[in-house]
Amino acid sequence: MSSFLDLSHYFPVENIRAGFSLRSFPFSPPRDRIELAHQLQLNSEGLVLPEQVHSGNVKIITNPGKYHDTDGVITAEKSVVLSIQVADCIPLFFVDSVNKNTGLIHAGWRGITKNIIENGVNKIYELGTEKESLHVLIGPSIRECCYEVGPEVAKQFEEKNIRPGKGDRSFLDLLGVVENKLISLGIPQKQITMMIECTQCRAETYHSYRRDGEKSGRMIAMLGWRN
C-alpha cells in the first residue's frame, strides 16, 4: 500500500498533482516534503513552506520558500508547489479548472473563527477565479464523533453544528461549518468533495494530535502542476 494518497483525480483538469501523506509516510521535516514532492512527480525546488500558527492569514504566493505566520497559500504560478501540514485540522485544496489558480488552507477551529475560509476563497477570487470553476477538496480531519470541545469553543459556532456531550462539553461538526461557509461564499455544492474519514478514529492510517498529543506526527497536503 502506498504511504500517501494521490488525490489528483478529484480535480477535472489535466496535470494537477495533489497528495496527502499518511501515518506510514516517514515524518521527518524538512526532508519529508521533498520526498513527497518527488513521489508526486513535482519539482521540490518549487516548494512553498508556510510556518503555520492557527491564524486567519492567507498569502498570495509568487515564489517558493518559507512564509511566516501563514495558514493559507494561494497562487497563480504554475512553478510553485504548495504544501501545508495537519494532524486533525482540516486541509482544503482549491483548484481553479479554468484559470489554473490553486490554494491550500489549514483550517482548525481557531483559524476558522479568524475567517481563514473566507480569506482563502476571497484571495483566489482576487486572482480571477470564478466560483463556477473553483473545485474544493476537503481532506481527512477529525470528525464530530471525536471532536469534543469545551463551552468557550462551542459558543463561537452556530447551534446547528453542535451536539451535546458530557457535562458542559460538546461535539463540534467543524466539517459542517466549513461546508456551510464554502456554499455561502458561492461555491456550488457539486464542486465540493469531502473525505469523511476521521483522523482520530483511524489510528492505523492517520496521525492525530488529539489522540497522540505533542509526540504526534503530521500529514502533509501538497498541490502543484506537473511540468
Chain residues in the site for Zn ion (CB under 5 A): 143, 145-146, 198, 200-201
Could you tell me the smallest distance in angstroms from the CB atom of residue 212 to Zn ion? 14
Write out the DSSP string of 202-215.
-TTT---HHHHGGG
Judged by beta carbon, residue 146 or residue 195, the one nearer Zn ion is: 146
Q: How far apart are CA 101 and CA 96, in angstroms?
A: 5
Residue nearest to Zn ion (CB): 198
| Closer of 101 and 200 to Zn ion (Cβ) | 200
Nearer residue to Zn ion within complex by CB, 33 or 143: 143
Helix runs in the chain, H state only = 31-39, 109-113, 116-126, 151-154, 174-184, 209-212
Crossing angle of helices 174-184 and 116-126, rounded to 10°? 30
Residue 133 Cβ vs Zn ion, minimum distance, rounded to whole Å: 33
Instruction: Confirm if 197 and 20 have CB atoms less than 8 A apart.
Output: no
Question: Please, which residue, 195 or 201, has the CB nearer to Zn ion?
Answer: 201
Which letter does DSSP use for residue 198 in this model?
A: B
What amino acid occupies position 42?
L
**CB of 62: closest distance to Zn ion in angstroms?**
38
Which of 192/201 has CB closer to Zn ion?
201
Contact 60, 122 (CB under 8 A): no
Residue among 176, 5, 193 nearest 94 (CA): 193
Nearer to Zn ion, 90 or 134 (CB): 90
User: Minimum distance between the CB of residue 65 and Zn ion, rounded to whole angstroms?
Assistant: 36
Cell numbers describing residue 41: 512527480
Min dist. Cβ of residue 200 to Zn ion (A) = 5
Query: Closest approach of Cβ 143 to Zn ion, in Å?
Result: 5
